[in-house]
Structure 1
Amino acid sequence: MSRRSDAPGETSDVVIVGGGASGLSLAYRLTATGSPTVTLVAAPDGSLLPPERTWCYWERGTGDFDEAVAASWSRLRVHGADGRAVTVDPSPLRYRMLRSADFERLVHSRLARTPGAHVLRATADTVRDTADGAEVRCTTPDGRTLTLRARQVFDSRPLPSLPPARTQLMQHFRGWFVRTDTDRFDPAIADLMDFRVPQPSHGLAFGYVLPLAPDRALVEYTEFSRTPLTTAEYEKALTHYSRDILGLGAVTVESAEQGVIPMTDARFARRTGPAVFRIGTAGGATRPATGYTFAAVQRQSRAVAAGLRNGRVTVPAPHGRRALAMDAVLLRALDTGRIDGPGFFTGLFRRVPAERLLRFLDGDTSPREEWGIGLRTPIGPMLRTVVELPFLPRRPQPATRTGESPR
């Protein structure tokens, strides 16, 4: 599909910029409507292509992406800092893992079978509105320029800097895909948070274990804090966690993944012009207090596809106002140290029914349910934070390289 720099370019109803979770999800949903022509602009092979990533979410019953799901778990476990574990069954929900390469193959295969839909391997340089829509100027792998024109453009590229915020933490992590010399894992149980790791002076840290087989798992070290670590520091923390806490013995690290996700109460613009929209993390899909993104991306992409089918072009807010308000309070309380992070999250899993808690983390609970959950949190520190928040200014945030959450 490469063109000379003076070629007229390509025209579609919709151009999606970015081949990550949000771009792939929107392309998948749009092909189901059968109406718009779609071009997905994905990074070409080479140094610009992101490394393989992991996306996790919970879902009830069968789902659209089941054939690409690498693993799933019916039980979840949280280890408190005191060493006591709580294991929960969130039925009818299951926790599912997608690997980005598998998800990409699924979506690209569907696009290849859909008339009017295709993938362009290129680097998107600029996106701008025009008199009759929008255009995306791209550079093809052989260095030539191609201009894509569309009625609407949905841009999922990471922002160069985050919007002003009252509170900003980072969820930063490194994970190993390991193989052990003997069976060490229970493939039926995923460890969402293991607070037995040493805690940083600011924020919180936990381990994360997703078993893929009795002798294989994703083992991860995660922090919620203001500043990411160096790779050497992550490696040291992972070595301590796998050897001294999990007792895995000799392990073979088959691959690794690393990333940084913003945890912020910033307000993300979902529209930058009459025909240009932001989706995914760039459009505020990452849940501020947890870093979970994939489920919100699915809600957002379904709504965009339904709107286009019905002649309405809109990108709805991926999280409701109540959820964002509660997250802002929790972020501030964590950042100030008013609440103990490990105790807070462990307490929720011990006191709140698992299915309700997971729906709460997805923003799918009623005000009555949220009130009941709120009563199981440290009320004094949370109320103090509620009173304080309206008087805090929103300040510009430094540029940060972000990744995509494994959750």
Structure 2
Amino acid sequence: MRLALRMWAAHFLSSMAAASDFDYLLIGGGAAGLSLAYHISQEPRLAGKRMLILEPEAKNQNDRTWSFWTDAPMLFDGIVAHEWGRIAFRSPQFEQVFELQRHRYKMIRGLDFYRHVRAVLEASPQVTWVPTAVQDLRELPNAAGVQATTPAGEFTGRYAFDSRPPQLEQLRQPQRHRYLLQHFVGWEVETDHDVFDPTTVEFMDFRGKQHHEARFMYVLPFSPRRALVEYTLFSETPLPKAEYETALRDYLRDTLGLTNYRITAEEVGAIPMTDHPLPAAQSSRIINLGTRAGRAKPSTGYAFKRIQAHSQRLAQALAATGQLPPNLTGDQWQFHLFDTLLLDIMQRQGERTHNIFAELFSRNPVERIFDFLDERTTWKENFQIMNSVTPWPFLRSIWHVLRRRPGRRALTP
């Protein structure tokens, strides 16, 4: 691997001699940085723009998967690993399997994404790669552009797009904002007989013990004998690894009746879910991307499709006007408020979460719920959504928002 990395560095550094100034610097080559670079590369009106990608790691492992629902074609449809036309919601008081009408639920594997995007970008004369970390990023005086300082040298450009993860631990203001994690352990399992329904995603299964938190099982079935089974929690702190594994074994045995299976892969993760303000830009020429720009939806953790929408918005504006859009993300304040209210309830009484989702799924078409979580609903539809859930928990959280103090769980003896 070290040899491959040295060859990669030598190949791309050799192209630097003729080009020390770029139109766009992309700081970070993960999902957000690569998505924007890909969108720019696919826009004919930006064919003459030069991009520099600064990323210290060679993305050559399947380090994650992205799942999302969509009702429209996407640039990455060709690398979708699997898709489903039905989802199941289950809780102690309500459960149902929903046939999707407009939407499909899809999954993309990280390694497929990296390979596909790298192949396209490496073949493009627009793109230069340097495998290095950015030590300093600043806007130059007099609107002259931006400068990135790295161990490999200094690089300048017209705009910089920064997708490095935000340092939330250093930014925390728990007296003002809510900080939760969506954390999980998932096993890809194989069985010797048919167990799973490959047409149906187990979207949320809340039937297990909640332990004063929001806890559910999530299952992506790839075939009758192979699936990703994931134990997911919304809470402030992760669990010891053994607790996730115990919950997974219990679910496989008690719910699916499995005692003989093979674990072929494992996923472990923790996604920040917070209403802490994550600005869309650091300055007029340094633009944030990905989690740094709040693209992981605070109340669900879903990020991939939001990253694509953000990338498309930026690329289209640059192509049309040569400038960035006045509203960089297109976010609407009312959806941020809805996220904050749900986060407040989760922080105060996480065990109520399954009741809220049970009311949503039992009283609304699933397509309306997906549109609401995509922040595409009208004011009328927003009212229908909010009118479908028990109001008291939300009214209490509105009070906390008005007094600018997050709700806290009441201490019990």
> What TM-score, normalized by structure 2, do the two folds share?
0.87
Match of residue 24 from structure 1: 34
Answer 1 or 2: which has greater strand percent. 1
What is the distance in 2 between the residues matched to 1:125 and 1:179?
A: 44
Match of residue 111 from structure 1: 121
Tell me the amino acid that sits aligned with residue 99 of structure 1. R
Kindly state the Cα deviation for residue 107 of structure 1 after the two structures are TM-superposed: 1.2
Kindly state the Cα deviation for residue 204 of structure 1 after the two structures are TM-superposed: 0.8
Match of residue 188 from structure 2: 177
Distance 1:63 1:313, change over 3 A: closer
Kindly state the Cα deviation for residue 7 of structure 1 after the two structures are TM-superposed: 8.2
What is the distance in 2 between the residues matched to 1:254 and 1:133?
A: 48
Kindly state the Cα deviation for residue 381 of structure 1 after the two structures are TM-superposed: 2.1
Tell me the amino acid that sits aligned with residue 124 of structure 1. V
Kindly state the Cα deviation for residue 163 of structure 1 after the two structures are TM-superposed: 5.1
Q: How does 1:206-217 map to 2 (within 5 A)?
A: 206-217=216-227
Matching residue within 314, 317, 340 for 1:307: 317
Could you report, residue by residue, the CA deviation over 1:92-113 in whole angstroms, capped at 9, with x for unpaired residues? 1101101111111121122123
What is the distance in 2 between the residues matched to 1:211 and 1:119?
A: 37
What is the distance in 2 between the residues matched to 1:358 and 1:372?
A: 14
What is the distance in 2 between the residues matched to 1:346 and 1:18?
A: 39
Matching residue within 312, 332, 353 for 1:320: 332
- Comparing 128-137 with 174-183, greater Cα deviation is found at 128-137
**SS state at 1:98 partner:** strand
Matching residue within 267, 272, 283 for 1:262: 272
Distance 1:232 1:103, change over 3 A: same
Matching residue within 47, 52, 60 for 1:39: 52
Kindly state the Cα deviation for residue 387 of structure 1 after the two structures are TM-superposed: 2.5
**Moved beyond 4 Å, runs of 4+:** 1-4, 6-9
Tell me the amino acid that sits aligned with residue 152 of structure 1. Y
Answer 1 or 2: which has greater helix percent. 2
Q: How does 1:343-362 map to 2 (within 5 A)?
A: 343-362=355-374
Could you report, residue by residue, the CA deviation over 1:342-388 in whole angstroms, capped at 9, with x for unpaired residues? 11112211211011110101111001001001111111221222123
- Comparing 100-109 with 337-346, greater Cα deviation is found at 337-346
> Are 2:171 and 1:158 equivalent residues in the alignment?
no
Distance 1:317 1:174, change over 3 A: same
Tell me the amino acid that sits aligned with residue 319 of structure 1. D
Kindly state the Cα deviation for residue 192 of structure 1 after the two structures are TM-superposed: 0.9
Q: How does 1:2-401 map to 2 (within 5 A)?
A: 2=10, 10-34=20-44, 35=46, 36-45=49-58, 52-82=63-93, 84-131=94-141, 132-139=144-151, 145-161=152-168, 162=171, 164=173, 165-201=176-212, 203-309=213-319, 310-314=321-325, 316-317=328-329, 319-337=331-349, 340-393=352-405
Kindly state the Cα deviation for residue 8 of structure 1 after the two structures are TM-superposed: 9.8
Structure 1 alignment gaps of length 5 or more: 140-144, 396-407
What is the distance in 2 between the residues matched to 1:33 and 1:348?
A: 39
Kindly, what percent of the aligned residue pairs are identical?
A: 33
Instruction: Report the number of matched residues.
Output: 385
Query: In angstroms, what is the RMSD of aligned CA positions?
Result: 2.4
Kindly state the Cα deviation for residue 123 of structure 1 after the two structures are TM-superposed: 2.7
**SS state at 1:124 partner:** coil
Kindly state the Cα deviation for residue 174 of structure 1 after the two structures are TM-superposed: 1.1
Kindly state the Cα deviation for residue 324 of structure 1 after the two structures are TM-superposed: 0.5
Tell me the amino acid that sits aligned with residue 197 of structure 1. G
What is the distance in 1 between the residues matched to 2:330 and 2:256?
A: 36
Tell me the amino acid that sits aligned with residue 52 of structure 2. T
Kindly state the Cα deviation for residue 320 of structure 1 after the two structures are TM-superposed: 1.6
What is the distance in 1 between the residues matched to 2:73 and 2:278?
A: 32
> What TM-score, normalized by structure 1, do the two folds share?
0.88
What is the distance in 2 between the residues matched to 1:119 and 1:152?
A: 16
**SS state at 1:383 partner:** helix
For the 8 Å contact 2:147–2:154, the answer to whether it is kept is yes
What is the distance in 2 between the residues matched to 1:239 and 1:338?
A: 23
Could you report, residue by residue, the CA deviation over 1:260-284 in whole angstroms, capped at 9, with x for unpaired residues? 1111111111211232111111111
For the 8 Å contact 1:197–1:245, the answer to whether it is kept is no
Tell me the amino acid that sits aligned with residue 75 of structure 1. R
What is the distance in 1 between the residues matched to 2:375 and 2:343?
A: 16
- Comparing 155-164 with 283-292, greater Cα deviation is found at 155-164
Distance 1:74 1:215, change over 3 A: same
Kindly state the Cα deviation for residue 11 of structure 1 after the two structures are TM-superposed: 2.6
Kindly state the Cα deviation for residue 394 of structure 1 after the two structures are TM-superposed: 7.4
For the 8 Å contact 2:38–2:121, the answer to whether it is kept is yes
Tell me the amino acid that sits aligned with residue 151 of structure 1. R
Kindly state the Cα deviation for residue 243 of structure 1 after the two structures are TM-superposed: 2.1
What is the distance in 2 between the residues matched to 1:146 and 1:178?
A: 46
What is the distance in 2 between the residues matched to 1:185 and 1:214?
A: 4
